[in-house]
Chains A and B, each alone.
Chain A
Amino acid sequence: MTSLDRKLLRQLWKMRFQLLAIALVIASGTALLVMSLTTIEALEETTAAYYERTRFADVFAHAKRVPEYRKREIGEIAGVRLVETRIDERAILNVAGYLEPVVARVISLPDNGPQLLNALVIRSGRLVDPTRGHEVVVSEPFAEAHRLKPGDSIEAILRGRKRTLEIVGTALSPEFVYAIAPGGLMPDDARFGILWMGRDALSAAFDLKASFNSVAVSLLPGADVSDTVRRLDNILAPYGGIGAYGREDQTSNWFLESEIAQQKNLSRVMPAIFLAVAAFLTNLVMARLVDTERREIGLLKALGYTNWTVGWHYFKLVLAIGTTGVVIGSLAGAWFGHWNTELYTKFYRFPFLLYRPGPVAFIVSATISLTAALAGSLTASYRAVRLPPAEAMRPPSPPSYRRLFTTRFAFSGPDEPTRMILRRITRWPGRALLTSFGLAMSAAVTIMALQWVDAIDTLAETVFERGQHQDATIAFDELHPLKAVRDFENLPGVLSVEPHRYLSARISRGHLTERQGIIGVPESAILSPVFDVSRGRLQIPAGGLVVSRKLAELLRIQIGDTVVVQLLEGHRASFSVRVVQLFETYIGKPAYMEMGALNRLAGDGRVASGLHIRMDAADRSGLLARLKGIPGIASIQFRQAAIDTFFDTMGETIFIFIGFFIAFSMTLSVGVAYNSIRIAISERAQEFATLRILGFTRWEISYILLGEVGLLTWLAIPLGAAIGLALAWWMTSAFETELYRVPLVLQNSTYGKAALIMLASVLVCAAVTRRRLDRLDLIAALKTRE
């Protein structure tokens, strides 16, 4: 080992805590990056492998009733490889010991031979025997939620008829990685299940002999999805087809893909923040190191070391910090990544999980992190290169403080120690600003993390509490005349009833088209009205379409524009309608019309497809029992259950991530504060020792030392609040999807909490480093330069 390397090692050891603080900031950035990248990789790889092994279909379509012989025509569409027809219906389940009715999708399994597409992965038991109509396979999450196992039986209402089904197996399906009930938002395994039964038994139960109502198609490589969708629509239109769609619009896959997209978003923002701060910290520490080692640098050059060797010497120091950070970060990141991916599998159900990150994620993260650290040290290393060798001959000289007019003016009031603090800050304003900025970034990260709590609360409150007042929403399996709705009003325990009409549709303007159903609501809807997030309940005009802002944005429409609506149900009417109102909502991209008008345009009479009810809490269990037995109900959604699952799903994940980010943001503030204080101590050890000898107390000296950081911390609070707001705004807009718009809501207390967390970490650093002042060796400080 060369003497120069030995010097380097001793330097590293001497500055180990300072360097470790920086390394940890780099590690945080790297860990976040590795975590995101490996999670994305694992989710993509797992999804691809799952879809491939189970032959997940490329195009899906549903209709009312299609004769089986039409299947051949579908198979003849150019580019189609495999076609599988099936029956896909809804049912209400009565699970023993569970009060509320459970909504289920019931899907047929082929009677002869295995599933060609969307093959089930059996998790326990076996597939059904096609000759035994009462056998059923249930989805694994649903089975787990109710502790059902093969051999148990459940009661199902299939088209109004009560049937007792025997569970023979549990399974997972690529179609239900993210399993949500029709109209639901989040998986609710207790209230939504999937049942797979023999085709024969199911076609008998739903009166679909020699027919199907759902078809899945796989395509040859290179086949055009939209072309297949169009042709499939043409074939199914006479049979009540409600619009075919490709894989990207398949509900479960859509959620999965958006989740991966969000993870990609995250992988861009957060690491960038940490690495920017890491660059700043290496800059701070290296600049000061080169400053104090001016004479050594000059000396090395006087002794004949080349500029390059000297520059490389300091560069290696940064390389050591960077590498330490990258190694810690990669290990932690791989661990977090695995954990994060597993977290996903709670909501996204895969039969297996492929977390085997390749080298790419690590190489990318390491390169980015090292580049940031090295970039930060570039100016300092360059200054070392540029320093003339004659520097070695010069005696050490005190830093030159300027006596600017402004400083003279501003500093006339305070006492000497305060004046010293202010002089130092104005002597190195850039450095002071960067220190404040680093601390501000830490507060900003906390604000951004905490704002999710505020935002989620607001979202849930607006959507579920201010926007809706029903206790349950019932969907009928067939249209009911409005008169029949009255029957529900008379059920014991029902306080009020409000009908609604839902129609799947395609809405277009010019060449832009969106698949978006239209909800018909009564003019004076109260239970579930059109609700604008800021204007509240909106009166719905008798004619015309009321469109959510997101849909308006996608179709580029404004109030007064006319759009073309193609209904995909019933008589499949097509009509033009004027957009009369826009409104803002946080979930989905809905469109509303007055129910009577919608019914008329659809060519139906006075009918409803479902209703909202308010119930009397006292009679709740009685009413629920009654509802389980009423024929004609396809599904029931409970508002309270929606709220609960919303918070269950969001809550857990969000709080873990907030914990993460707070830990990271504390690494940030500690990294900045600790380094600033240590640098101040070593730069001013002589000054402090002199002051001690002159009779200043330890506390007075601590004040001079820590006052500087304290002042910069106070400056960081408003700065952090501003950056935090910007960051939160940026995050919410980056995370906007068709499904959610997370509102930008920042409570004052969030700013307060972020400031407190930052202050706390600065205080800890101050307390730890201040002890060095007590141990200040007066003689040594006066002798040495460092």
Chain B
Amino acid sequence: MEIEDGAAALEARDLMKVYRMGAVEVSALRGVDVDFYKAELVVLLGPSGSGKSTLLNILGGLDTPTSGQVRFGNHPLSFGSERALNQYRRNHVGFVFQFYNLIASLTARENVALVTEIARDPMPPADALALVGLSDRLDHFPAQLSGGEQQRVAIARAIAKRPDLLLCDEPTGALDSKTGILVLEAILRINRELGTTTALITHNAVIAEIANRVLYFADGRIVETRCNATQRAPGELSW
């Protein structure tokens, strides 16, 4: 699946997600339509509980929508098939989570290798770690790394497979501003150098200034879309 520049890399149409807990129904998504373009950096903003994570999980093939469609490079995702979703994640999607989610018993290099071992066209783990500026931390265990370093290992792990999509759920949520900026710089660099379509959730409106486009979420819907005329570099930000 090759995606041309400027074409929609990922399209979601009329996505609905209802969580059922006994008699109570929670509508997490109430009809979301959105396109992500090749090499674009999109930031998702919105209050807690508005459905951002739910959308990202569905786009990344981690979760299935109650109704609606997702097309990736003109192919619909078959949410009915676990195998197909697994292949999609394995070959096209990189995830970065708020709580790093490194495997505590594996070193930085091994955490990255976990992905490169099963990917189709990966870069060497050391290269991926160099991209996030961790060349000197290859053999450290997560417990021996700071939070920011752990998050950069997680980014290296996400991009080592050269994904088409990089999905980050509050990657700076647990970090101070200085470390957060390092992490954002790493993400931006991947986005630029590898042309990876990137979606990033944050609670921090300042961070939105690095994006090409900002989507505002409320109550399970996208309520506003704003395009940034100019992207600011993470280094210029402060919070």
Contacts and interface: CB of A to CB of B under 8 A. Distances in A.
Interface of A: 2-4, 6-7, 10-11, 14, 295-296, 299-307, 388-390, 392-393, 395-396, 780, 784, 786
A3 B101 contact: no
Contacts of A305: 86, 90, 118
Contact of B106 (A7, A390, A396): A7
Contacts of A390: 57, 62-63
B114 A307 contact: no
Nearest to A8: B105
B62 A307 contact: no
A3 B110 contact: yes
Contact of B89 (A3, A302, A784): A302
Interface in B43-89: 53, 57, 60-63, 82-83, 86-87, 89
A4 B105 contact: no
Contact of A304 (B57, B99, B106, B115): B115
Nearest to B58: A390
Contacts of B82: 307
A306 B63 CA distance: 15
A302 B62 contact: yes
B117 A392 contact: no
17 contacts: A6-B105, A10-B106, A11-B105, A295-B101, A296-B103, A303-B95, A304-B89, A304-B115, A304-B119, A305-B86, A305-B90, A307-B82, A307-B86, A389-B89, A395-B99, A396-B99, A784-B104
A16 to B, nearest CB: 13
Given A295-B101, A296-B101, 10 more contacts: A3-B110, A3-B114, A6-B106, A303-B90, A307-B82, A388-B63, A390-B57, A390-B63, A395-B98, A786-B104
Contacts of A784: 104, 143
A304 B91 CA distance: 8
Contact of B114 (A4, A10, A389, A786): A4
What 9 A-B pairs come out closest when comparing CB atoms? A304-B90, A10-B105, A3-B114, A390-B62, A3-B110, A390-B63, A3-B113, A389-B62, A304-B89
Interface in B169-185: 169
Given A304-B89, A304-B119, A395-B98, A299 B62 contact: no
B198 interface: no
Interface size on B, as a range, is: 20 to 34
A303 to B, nearest CB: 5
Given A389-B89, A390-B62, A7 B105 contact: yes
Interface of B: 53, 57, 60-63, 82-83, 86-87, 89-91, 95, 97-99, 101, 103-106, 110-111, 113-115, 117-119, 143, 157, 169
A392 B104 CA distance: 14
Contact of A306 (B86, B110, B115): B86
A393 B169 CA distance: 8
B89 to A, nearest CB: 5
If over half of A's interface residues share one DSSP class (helix, strand or loop), that class is named, otherwise mixed; here it is helix
A303 B57 contact: no
A302 B62 CA distance: 6
B118 A304 contact: yes
A6 B106 CA distance: 7
A384 B103 CA distance: 16
A674 B39 CA distance: 55
A296 to B, nearest CB: 6
Given A3-B110, A393-B62, A302 B95 contact: yes
A395 to B, nearest CB: 6
Contacts of A10: 105-106
A301 to B, nearest CB: 7
Contacts of B63: 388-390
A434 B103 CA distance: 31
Given A299-B103, A304-B119, A6 B110 contact: yes
Contacts of B113: 2-3
B10 to A, nearest CB: 17
Contacts of B110: 3, 6-7
A2 B63 CA distance: 27
B104 A3 contact: no
Contacts of B117: 2-4
Contact of A303 (B104, B105, B114): B114
A626 to B, nearest CB: 85
Contacts of A6: 105-106, 110
B234 to A, nearest CB: 24
Contact of B60 (A7, A300, A302): A302
B181 to A, nearest CB: 23
Most central of B101, B103, B169 by chain A CB within 10 Å? B103
Nearest to B56: A393
A786 B98 CA distance: 18
A14 B119 CA distance: 29
Contact of B115 (A303, A388, A389): A303
Given A304-B118, A393-B57, A299 B105 contact: no
A11 B119 CA distance: 24
Contacts of B143: 780, 784
B101 A392 contact: yes
A685 to B, nearest CB: 14
A298 to B, nearest CB: 8
A301 B91 CA distance: 12
B101 to A, nearest CB: 5
Contact of B103 (A2, A7, A301, A306): A7
A395 B110 CA distance: 23
B79 to A, nearest CB: 12
Nearest to B141: A10
A393 B97 contact: yes
Contact of A392 (B62, B83, B105): B62
Nearest to B90: A304
Most central of B53, B83, B98, B110 by chain A CB within 10 Å? B110
A393 to B, nearest CB: 6
A753 B138 CA distance: 57
Most central of A303, A304, A306, A780 by chain B CB within 10 Å? A304
A14 B86 contact: no
Contacts of A304: 86-87, 89-91, 115, 118-119
B174 to A, nearest CB: 10
Contacts of A307: 82, 86
Contact of B111 (A3, A295, A388, A786): A3
B13 to A, nearest CB: 21
Contacts of A3: 106, 110-111, 113-114, 117
